[in-house]
Amino acid sequence: MQEPAAVLPLPVHQLARFCRLMNYEGWAVDLPRLCIDTAYAHACLATAHTSSDERLRQAALELFEAYDRNAAAGTLH
């Protein structure tokens, strides 16, 4: 029997930075929802990729990797 994949905590400091950068662009982000709603998180990350701000695009990529890492375990946190 295969052991379930470990779920790693989402990086809180990266989430906070992402929210701050999104707000600078005029896009409000609900941080608690970002942590529990995969569809909402992916929509926010996709929106971030349309930004001209390289820092925001990079932050979105890093968070996407964190979400993707936990996807195999079936939950975000």
- The answer to whether position 44 is within a domain reads yes
Between 54-71 and 12-24, two packed helices, what is the crossing angle to 10 degrees?
Answer: 140
Average pLDDT of span 34-51: 92
Q: Does some domain include residue 5?
A: no
Q: Model pTM greater than 0.85?
A: no
User: 31 is in which domain, residue-wise?
Assistant: 12-71
Degrees to nearest 5, angle at CA 8 with 58 and 37:
70
Query: How confident is the model at residue 8, as a pLDDT?
Result: 56
Structural domain includes residue 6: no
pLDDT at 76 over 50: no
Q: What is the pLDDT of residue 52?
A: 97
How many structural domains is the chain composed of? 1
Q: What is the mean pLDDT of residues 63-75?
A: 70
Asked, for residue 64, whether it belongs to a domain, the answer is: yes
